[in-house]
Amino acid sequence: MQKEIMIQLLDVAKRFGEVEAVKGISLDIFPGEFITFLGPSGCGKTTTLRMIGGFEDPDRGDVLIDGFSVKDKKPYERDVNTVFQSYALFPHMSVFDNVAFGLKMKKIKESELRTRVEEALSLVKMEHYANRLPKQLSGGEQQRVAVARAIVNNPRVLLLDEPLGALDLKLRKQMQVELKHLQKKLKMTFIYVTHDQEEALVMSDRVVVMNKGQVEQIDSPTDVYRYPKSRFVADFIGETNLLKCTVGEEKNGLLFLRHGQTVLQASAELAVGAAVGREGFLSIRPEEIKVYETSPASQKSKADGGSADTIIPASVEEVIFIGSTAKLITRTKTPEAIVLIAHSPLAAGSALVGKTVFLSWSPEQAIFITE
């Protein structure tokens, strides 16, 4: 069955003088999804969002809502509402009046207005703060009011530009979950912008990874994390080890990659566009590297008649405690002396510094990327 498309970006581009902020983005957004533009500062996220909202006109391309171009429609004529990074609440108005403002402009009658404002405040758990002024609220509470003010209009789409940017970490994490629950409850389409990869992974149904005004990858959070399609995505999302390699040969579903004199294996199935002789990068997540104090090779080969797991001896140069695990900075005992980072639940901690360990990973966890 064809999924109904709600918003379509067709090769939209925007330039500010010399700066090509958005270089031609095409994208379909579906009703009820939580989609996030993720990328470093300056990559064009806000500009893209503003073109959807109608605050910025594209130089090229078009934005369609329900199949129709909204080129000539003002922001308030699009069934879209925006929550900006700065809460932009009216300082002299109570919480209630802030939320009611848009409805009053639309001349909604008093009884309905009251019901809708109370409902919106209750959805963001601010029903007991209706009479306060914004300055009597914490940052998180103000942001909740800003969200209430946007959803009270019952738009089909909510645009949110780094709405949690000003909050401290703990509150931000709490609000991430709350916003996600709210979105599911309202079945509203959320188009969200953040530069925080963890935030994007936690909240979204799909993530649009952007870099320099272009889309690098559009996928579910698990897929952008596990199957990055470009070096940029592998590097930007989470932490990874990236090794420059050349494809040597492909055999039995495995790619044999040359990194200097060291040969590393990767799953051929998960590699995109890998042909013999092709250069690229191997990405191995630190948490996928198992750390052994004695070589696992002998037990392994007996157990399953030889395995494709890579096993490399390495010396531990530094151990950094990161809470639930330790981060090991190691250098392989191969001619290239590759620096590899492994996350290990090993309790040994700093006692490993200077010791030799064996690093091991399976080919399914080694993703070859050609660009």
Ligand X SMILES: Nc1ncnc2c1ncn2[C@@H]1O[C@H](COP(=O)(O)OP(=O)(O)O)[C@@H](O)[C@H]1O
The smaller minimum CB distance to ligand X, of residues 45 and 285, is found at 45
The smaller minimum CB distance to ligand X, of residues 39 and 134, is found at 39
Residue carrying structure tokens 């157990």:
303
In sequence order, the 6+-apart residues with CB closer than 8 A to the CB of 193 are 36, 37, 45, 46, 49, 159, 160, 161, 162
- DSSP-based three-state secondary structure for 148: helix
The smaller minimum CB distance to Mg ion, of residues 8 and 46, is found at 46
Which does residue 21 bind out of Mg ion, ligand X, none, counting CB within 5 to 8 angstroms by kind? ligand X
The smaller minimum CB distance to Mg ion, of residues 158 and 369, is found at 158
Write out the binding residues for ligand X, residues 8-67 only, by CB under 6 A: 16, 19, 21, 39, 41-47
Q: In what order do the strands lie in the sheet with 326-332?
A: 290-292, 356-361, 310-321, 326-332, 339-344
Q: Least Å distance between CB 19 and ligand X?
A: 5
Q: Which residues pair with 159 in a beta bridge?
A: 82, 191
Q: In what order do the strands lie in the sheet with 214-219?
A: 80-83, 157-161, 189-194, 34-38, 206-211, 214-219
Q: Least Å distance between CB 47 and ligand X?
A: 3
Which does residue 54 bind out of ligand X, Mg ion, none, counting CB within 5 to 8 angstroms by kind? none
Q: Least Å distance between CB 314 and ligand X?
A: 38
Total of chain residues touching Mg ion, rule CB under 5 A: 1
Signed CA dihedral, 311, 312, 315, 318: sign only: negative
Q: Least Å distance between CB 62 and ligand X?
A: 18
The smaller minimum CB distance to ligand X, of residues 44 and 286, is found at 44
Which does residue 330 bind out of ligand X, Mg ion, none, counting CB within 5 to 8 angstroms by kind? none
- The alpha-helical segments, DSSP class H, found in the chain are 45-53, 95-105, 110-123, 139-151, 169-186, 197-203, 221-226, 231-236, 297-304
* Site string (294-333) toward Mg ion, x via CB under 5 A: ----------------------------------------
- Region of 78 (left: φ > 0; alpha: ψ -120 to 50; beta: rest) is beta
Among 46, 330, 360, 365, binds Mg ion (CB under 5 A): 46
Write out the binding residues for ligand X, residues 300-359 only, by CB under 6 A: none
The smaller minimum CB distance to ligand X, of residues 61 and 296, is found at 61
The residues binding ligand X (CB under 6 A) are 16, 19, 21, 39, 41-47
Residues engaged in binding Mg ion (CB under 5 A): 46
